[in-house]
Amino acid sequence: MHSDPPGRAGTSSPVSAAGVAALLRTLPGSPMAGVTAHGSTVLEIVAATTHRARMVEEAQLLHPDSPAREAAATGVPIVITDLAGSSRWPGCGAELRLWGVQAVRCQPLSDDDGAVVGVLSVYTPAANVLSEELADALHPVCRCATDLLQIRRRNPPRLRRE
């Protein structure tokens, strides 16, 4: 499942990091979640539900072999229902478990041309709880997150001098 193309008729999207974070906080089961931008040289946390979710996102970015990086590289969703029982991504998986994560879903976000621009990751503190209801609820969030990432790609944030 890739994200739907942005700008679909009849949809409105909160194209700000705060708006996407607010949508993430409405997901069923109140999981931790975050959105990262992935590009040729860019790896950036764009939105997260909580500070802890931001730290979990950072853990994925710091590991060269992680579910989010694989989803970005392949364009294929990664669903791990029980991190403790998974032998994939041993270093990253162990660190995610230290943060209290037992299950993770990494959904690649694709632009209009099919190129992956980011990943939406959902984290739960219990294994085997990534439900169909949650998967269905991700569709509108994926659209909004993709819109945001495309806008940021066209108009990158500038560094501020203070």
Strand locations in the chain (E): 32-38, 43-48, 78-80, 103-110, 116-124
* Burial of residue 1, with CB atoms counted within 10 A of its CB: 0-12 exposed, 13-18 middle, 19 or more buried: exposed
Compute how many other C-beta atoms are within 10 angstroms of the C-beta atom of residue 137. Answer: 17
Distance CA 2, CA 138 (A): 11
State the pLDDT at residue 13: 45
Provide the residue-wise pLDDT of the chain in tens; the chain has 162 residues. 444 333 333 344 457 888 888 888 888 888 899 999 987 666 889 999 999 999 999 999 999 999 999 999 999 999 999 999 999 988 999 999 999 999 999 999 999 889 999 999 999 999 998 888 888 899 999 999 999 998 888 876 665 454
Compute how many other C-beta atoms are within 10 angstroms of the C-beta atom of residue 128. Answer: 11
Helix (DSSP H) and strand (DSSP E) numbers for the chain? 5, 5
Cα dihedral: 101, 21, 79, 134 (round 10): 100
pTM (2 d.p.)? 0.83
State the pLDDT at residue 132: 86
State the pLDDT at residue 105: 95
Compute the residue count for the chain.
162
Domains of the chain, by residue range, sit at 17-154
State the pLDDT at residue 155: 76
Task: Provide the CATH number for the domain formed by 17-154 in this structure.
Answer: 3.30.450.40
